[in-house]
Structure formats: structure tokens, C-alpha cells
Amino acid sequence: MRLDKLLADRGYGTRKEIKKLLQKNSAIINGVPTKDGSAKVVVDDRVEFLGDVISCESMIYYLFHKPAGCVCANEDALHPTIFHYIPNPRNQLFSVGRLDIDTEGLLLITNDGVLAHNLLSPRHHVDKVYYARLDHAITEADIQAFQAGLDIGDDTNTMPADLSPANEAGDEIYVTIKEGRYHQVKRMFEARGNAVCYLKRMSMGPFVLDDTLPAGSYRPLTPEEMELLSDYTNQSEES
């Protein structure tokens, strides 16, 4: 593959933009600087550009229905990992964000670091929707508190979150957050004197958990889902 195509595929700009970037900032291929966009790279090459190490692997995108009981890591001495369910040759794949060991639901699995960065960056405020079963029913005051932002013990309150009942009793809910703080959903309910008994992520940005995909299963993204990727792989840090 040509160097300029690799960089374009990874979201660094158009071919024309990359040509200009290369004139100002050399890429480094296997330790050798180059400004030549037509330089050829292969899978085993080490490519560095603008301080990033660029994978030359073909881009892989899976939608995975994470079951409870596994962790979002390549290796773990105590628990099975998500890659117990997904082949991961050469440890090239990773999850876009993490879910707790007892949390189920949607994970994107990829080797595309640009996509992962843009979906997870706080600047982009990507919606993440969760379904939860709670110890007891929510109140209107809870809904308003979530919308206002909660003190969960961090330096700043959470961003506004949308909370709504999923059943008549009010002890099953949907919550939409725009961040990904450590144990965030559980800590938000703890701040309101409630507890999460079960948690499942239903969507992340435009990607929605497939109802036909059993827990522990994965599939490649559909052509329609692949089209959605460009909204995230082409975002700049200023967007």
C-alpha cells in the first residue's frame, strides 16, 4: 500500500492534505524518515507519523455482544477476556472503550486507533445508551438530577445525562451518557442512593446492539454501519 493511502485510510486527511503534511512532517518507516507519499508499506512495517505509530494491518471492525464474566483486555490472569470469544491474531485488535466484568452489551472491536480515539474523546460527546435494572424505582427528582449533572466524587460533576423509565414500576431504566468515566453509570445511581443490579450497553453513537446477536457472539459491521464510520474516522481533534 502507498504511504499516502495508508495515512488517508487512518483519517489524517485527504491525499492532497497528506502530501502537504508530509512536506512539513516526515513519516518514519522502519526508522527511516520520508516525505514521499508514494513510498510502499507492508504489513510488517513500522510507520510513525505525527507522533503516532500507524498499523499497516487491514482495518477490522466487529460488533460484539459482550457477556458478563469477561474483561476488556488482551490478557488477564484471573478472568477470561473478550478475546476468548473473538480471534485476535498478533494481538492487533482492541475494544473501543471498556465495559465492567459484570456489564453486558455492545462493544466495537477494531484495530483502528483513529476511530477509537474519536469515539472516546470527551470533545466529541458520543452518546452511549444503557439499560439497567435497579434496586428500587427512580423518581422525578432522579431524572432532574441526572439532567443537571451529578457529583460522583471526581473533580467535576458528570455531564447532563438523560434518564427515563423502561417499565411501569420504574426500576428498569434507560440512561444516556456522553462520557465514559470509571464505573460511571453505577456511581451515578449510587450518588442518588440507588444500586444497579444489572447493566447492559445498548448503543454507542450510531452503532446499535443487534437483537439477533447472542451474548458472546460477534459479526463484521454491515455495509450501512461501515458508511457511518467515516463520520468518526475523518473527524479532526478540533471537531
Q: Where are the beta strands (DSSP E) in 67-116?
A: 94-95, 104-110
Q: Please give the radius of gyration of the chain, using alpha carbons only, rounded to the nearest integer.
A: 20
As beta bridge partners, residue 127 has none
C-alpha cell at 128: 452511549
Residues 6+ apart with CB under 8 A from 100: 183, 186, 199
DSSP, collapsed to helix, strand or coil, labels residue 232 as helix
Cell numbers 466495537: residue:
108
C-alpha cell at 44: 510488517
Q: Does an H or E element contain 133, and which? A: strand 128-134
- The alpha carbon of 225 is separated from its chain's Cα centroid by a whole number of angstroms, namely 14
8 Å CB contact between 96 and 45: no
Give me the catalytic one of 36, 100, 171, 210: 100
45 has catalytic annotation: no
How many whole angstroms separate alpha carbon 184 and alpha carbon 25?
Answer: 39
Provide the annotated active-site residues: 100
